[in-house]
Amino acid sequence: MPDKITTRTLQQMKAQGQRIVALTAYDFPSAQLADAAGVDVILVGDSVGNTMLGYETTLPVSVETILHHLQAVRRGTRRALLVADMPFLSYGVSVEDAVYNAGALMQAGAEAVKVEGASPRVLDAIRAMVGIGIPVMAHLGLTPQSIHQFGGYRLQGRTASEQEALLEAAQAVQETGAFSVVLEVIPASLARRITEQLRIPTIGIGAGVHCDGEIQVWHDILGLSEQTYKHTRRYAELRAAITDALRQYADEVRQRQFPTPAQSFEVDK
Ligand code: KIV
């Protein structure tokens, strides 16, 4: 396993055909576990709004919320490249806001930031951030901050014209200076075309096997989410395991089976 992962490492991994493994983390223990497991990129995603805070969408997440979780994840991350999501309204309103908010995330320990979309405003923000030394990961396809514009969590790039637009968007973020791009819920064949045409690594989620890497959400792959999704695989069933453990704890307390003398203290007479 190579040493500290940097944005340069990811470029080299693409060049060498080595797959990039990315995962979200939101707190100190999840960061420690992901890092120890050899995950290459840890993202403090604005999915924290759904997974940790119980919101329906990512829209209520603020820069302060990301900062709070980022600081904990920073303390648990050694090897992985640490990327912080820029939440809704933190980069699309003005270039000055984007640079200032990205700077705050970098000062809190992020090594790169991620933004959604490729509108002219977002491209200006990417250019400005890259211009002062902030690495930017782009995010295209089913970008959750635009969920109300899409009218739901639906496959993007369904028609030939939508596919061309996504290909152009991917080229635009690359030319603007993004060091990698997340492709979310788009046809696998389109993700393959984009991956073949870009110099920068593509990181898929619901985008098939031909991307340069894969990103998943902590709660989804560990079976902590209530729902199951087509784009994910549950590598554990922690929701069920935790519920069983908590029920057993509650039963044993009620039946005076816990604590026993082994977990109790006494003083010598
Ligand atoms: O916030 C997030 O978790 C993300 C990933 C799904 C890419 O943006």
Q: How far is the CA of 85 from the centre of ligand 1 (A)?
A: 8
Nearest CA, atom 5, ligand 1: 45
Catalytic residue among 162, 164, 175, 184, which? 184
Q: What is the pLDDT of residues 196-244, one digit of tens each?
A: 999 999 999 999 999 999 999 999 999 999 999 999 999 999 999 999 9
Q: Specify the residue with its C-alpha closest to ligand 1, atom 8.
A: 45
pLDDT confidence of residue 269 = 84
Take atom 2 of ligand 1 and give the residue whose Cα is closest. 45
* CA distance readout (Å), 266 to 21, 258, 261: 50, 16, 9
- Lining ligand 1 with CB less than 6 A are 24, 43, 45-47, 85, 139, 182, 205, 215, 217
Question: What is the pLDDT confidence band of residue 1, given thresholds at 50, 70 and 90?
Answer: low
Q: For residue 53, is pLDDT > 80?
A: yes
pLDDT classification of 2: cutoffs 50, 70, 90: low
184 an active-site residue?
yes
Domains and CATH numbers, the chain: 7-237 (3.20.20.60)
The pTM of this model reads 0.97
Residues 73-101: tens digit of each pLDDT:
999 999 999 999 999 999 999 999 999 99
Mean pLDDT value across residues 151-164: 96
